[in-house]
Chain A
Amino acid sequence: SQKIEQNSEALNIQEGKTATLTCNYTNYSPAYLQWYRQDPGRGPVFLLLIRENEKEKRKERLKVTFDTTLKQSLFHITASQPADSATYLCVAGSSASKIIFGSGTRLSIRP
């Protein structure tokens, strides 16, 4: 079955370091991948979208990559801050089928 897996349930990073989150997909060829941030008790907030023909996308301290050979997306937060602590969701989609959510990675940035 189609599956999106985010490798780490939780990730603890020292403030100032780069946080790297992983998203792998199986039995699926997404046309795009999206990353969302979710804070406790709130709905997810859209961060970045990268298409299958794009290798990398950046937005301020955020960078996302899409490797169709490895079937993987990496999400980086550089110069991490305690305010970046949240759960990050990877979402895969294509025009033909409904989107699929990963289970999320809970990121904690310690001062």
Chain B
Amino acid sequence: KAGVTQTPRYLIKTRGQQVTLSCSPISGHRSVSWYQQTPGQGLQFLFEYFSETQRNKGNFPGRFSGRQFSNSRSEMNVSTLELGDSALYLCASSLDQSNEKLFFGSGTQLSVL
């Protein structure tokens, strides 16, 4: 069974640009959540989707958005990038809404110059 796949693995953007990150969950998993990880802040919850509906949202500005498709694949978008958005963005999938036993992808390392 393939694990959680995140693309791209690395991304370099400049301030003001926008970016879209992709996440393919483990087959059969219907819940996908996104996290931002920086050395200073640790893992910060962005949002969570289940069956194409956003269930929870973290404390991030509206520039951060996401969606989930009918095949459970998910994308997150960051518009008007700022230097502080540089981080490792992690996606995790789980079987259901309980968030028990999350399976993480390797992440997308975003650098904003």
Contact = CB atoms under 8 A, between A and B. Distances in A.
B104 A43 contact: yes
B106 interface: yes
A79 interface: no
Interface string A17-37: 000000000000000101010
Interface residues of A, number: 22
A46 B103 contact: yes
Contacts of A42: 106-107
Interface string A93-105: 1010111111110
Interface residues of B, number: 24
A101 B45 contact: yes
Given A34-B100, A42-B107, A103 B42 contact: yes
Interface of B: 4, 35, 42-45, 48, 55-56, 58, 88, 90, 92, 98-107, 109
Cβ-closest 8 pairs across A and B: A43-B104, A103-B42, A101-B43, A98-B56, A99-B99, A44-B104, A46-B101, A43-B90
